[in-house]
Chain A
Amino acid sequence: ETGVTQSPTHLIKTRGQQVTLRCSSQSGHNTVSWYQQALGQGPQFIFQYYREEENGRGNFPPRFSGLQFPNYSSELNVNALELDDSALYLCASSLGPSTQNTEAFFGQGTRLTVV
């Protein structure tokens, strides 16, 4: 079975631009969660999608939005990029939304640099 894959691995954007990050979930997984990991920090929860619906959201502004597709892959969109958005963005997929019942498998992340 394939693991969680994220694309692109790196990208550089200019402040004010928009960016789309992509995540292919592990085979059979219906849940995708997105985390932002700033340099020297632990990952912070952005939001989770379960069966194409948003299932929970962290403390991030509305310019962070997402989608989950029928094949359970997902996109993270960030509008009006700010310098502080520079971070490693991690996608995690799981068999369900609860941390109690399922293990989350993380991708290698997308390193976003905003200049």
Chain B
Amino acid sequence: AQSVTQLDSQVPVFEEAPVELRCNYSSSVSVYLFWYVQYPNQGLQLLLKYLSGSTLVKGINGFEAEFNKSQTSFHLRKPSVHISDTAEYFCAVSAGSGTYKYIFGTGTRLKVLA
């Protein structure tokens, strides 16, 4: 079975500072990894995904993530955040015979401070 751990429930950061949101996964088979963002009162929007190939993945809104198989991690980074990045961020995994579904972490609330 697969699982996702997002250790940081909340991350406060000042505007224009860099940020890293941590995600670790557990799986006995090869995985596909995703980051989704959820703005208040909205559904989920895909930021980026790793399926195969280059371990550094670039997404929308200046976000990027690096797949690290040895550390079973897929941390999300942005070099300079904006107030508008304030939202809930979810890491998700899909793997094995269950690639029809996402298994989400509990989310990290990013709060960008002026």
* B49 contact set on A, CB distance < 8 A: 103
Asked whether, in the complex, the Cβ of A99 is within 8 Å of the Cβ of B90, the reply is no
Residue of B nearest to A48 (CB): B100
Residue of B nearest to A4 (CB): B43
Chain A 98-112 residues near chain B, CB threshold 8 A:
98-100, 103-104, 106-109
Asked whether, in the complex, the Cβ of A90 is within 8 Å of the Cβ of B104, the reply is no
Per-position contact with B for A41-62: 1 when CB-CB < 8 Å, else 0?
1111100101000011010000
Residue of B nearest to A109 (CB): B43
* Distance of A91 from chain B, by nearest CB (Å): 8
Asked whether, in the complex, the Cβ of A43 is within 8 Å of the Cβ of B100, the reply is no
* B34 contact set on A, CB distance < 8 A: 99
Asked whether, in the complex, the Cβ of A99 is within 8 Å of the Cβ of B101, the reply is yes
Chain B 88-114 residues near chain A, CB threshold 8 A:
90, 92, 94, 98-107
Which of B51, B98, B99, B104 lies in contact with A43, CB distance below 8 A? B104
Interface size class of A (residues with CB under 8 A): 20 to 34
* B43 contact set on A, CB distance < 8 A: 4, 90, 92, 106-109
For residue B42, CB closer than 8 A to chain A, the reply is yes
For the complex, give the distance between the alpha carbons of A42 and B100 in Å: 17
For residue A70, CB closer than 8 A to chain B, the reply is no
For residue B44, CB closer than 8 A to chain A, the reply is yes
Asked if A58 meets B106 with Cβ closer than 8 Å, knowing A99-B32, A106-B43, A106-B45, the reply is no
Asked whether, in the complex, the Cβ of A43 is within 8 Å of the Cβ of B46, the reply is no
Asked whether, in the complex, the Cβ of A45 is within 8 Å of the Cβ of B101, the reply is yes
Asked whether, in the complex, the Cβ of B94 is within 8 Å of the Cβ of A99, the reply is yes
Residue of A nearest to B106 (CB): A42
Asked whether, in the complex, the Cβ of B90 is within 8 Å of the Cβ of A55, the reply is no
- B residues with CB within 8 A of A: 4, 6, 32, 34, 36, 41-46, 49, 51, 90, 92, 94, 98-107
- A residues with CB within 8 A of B: 4, 33, 35, 40-45, 48, 50, 55-56, 58, 90, 92, 97-100, 103-104, 106-109
